[in-house]
Amino acid sequence: MTDWDRPSPFTLALTPAAEHIDGLGHTNNAVYVQWCEQAGWAHSEALGLSLADYRRLDRAMAIREGHYDYLLPSFEGEALLLGTWLTASDGKLTMERRFQLRRASDGATLLRGRWALVCIEISSGRPKRMPAEFLNIYEAAVVA
């Protein structure tokens, strides 16, 4: 599938099930948000940083702001592909992650999303500089 917004996305294959469908007969927008969270974690784990690593380092990349553009609906049983990228980092506290959800049958983009992330110390909840492990792994994955 071509026509991704950026090259080489990390992808997650998804299919809306009956429980994902809302009263309007299409996938509920809140499900898209949950899928973005799943894709973000799966990408982080594929890069080599898991929740256990976050706890060990007492650091986490927390969502400071999330923005979603819902472009087209999806329906029960449709094959979808959610792509994600790390698209920016200041090398200190903040990163940006982008998302693009596409329908497999025709490649149409259903959703675009953006997260502004900030590194926090888990124990205090306060912003803290990214540890070396974050910088080494996440910085190498940033796609401009």
The domain ranges of the chain are 10-140
> What mean pLDDT do residues 24-36 have?
96
In this structure, are residues 66 and 121 in contact, taking their beta carbons and an 8 Å threshold?
no
pLDDT at 1 over 60: no
Give the strand pairing for 94-103 and 10-14: unpaired
pLDDT at 144: 82
Query: What is the distance between the alpha carbons of residues 61 and 122, in angstroms, rounded to a whole number?
Result: 9
In this structure, are residues 49 and 106 in contact, taking their beta carbons and an 8 Å threshold?
no
- The reply to whether CATH 3.10.129.10 applies to domain 10-140 is yes
Query: What is the distance between the alpha carbons of residues 52 and 41, in angstroms, rounded to a whole number?
Result: 12
pLDDT at 27: 97
Note the pLDDT tens digit of each residue in 58-105.
999 999 999 999 999 999 999 999 999 999 999 999 999 999 999 999
Q: Closest Cα partner for 2 from 83, 75, 107?
A: 107
* pLDDT above 90 as % of the chain: 98
Computed over every residue of the chain, the mean pLDDT equals 96
pTM of the model as a whole = 0.95
pLDDT bin (cut points 50, 70, 90) of residue 2 is low
Query: What is the distance between the alpha carbons of residues 136 and 41, in angstroms, rounded to a whole number?
Result: 17
In this structure, are residues 107 and 117 in contact, taking their beta carbons and an 8 Å threshold?
no
Q: What share of the chain is helix, strand, coil (3-state, %, to 5)?
A: 25, 40, 35
pLDDT bin (cut points 50, 70, 90) of residue 56 is very high
In this structure, are residues 4 and 84 in contact, taking their beta carbons and an 8 Å threshold?
no
Q: Please name every residue paired with 61 in a beta bridge, in sequence order, or none if there are none.
A: 119
pLDDT at 141 over 80: yes
In this structure, are residues 129 and 93 in contact, taking their beta carbons and an 8 Å threshold?
yes
Lowest mean pLDDT, pick from 1-5, 48-52, 126-130:
1-5
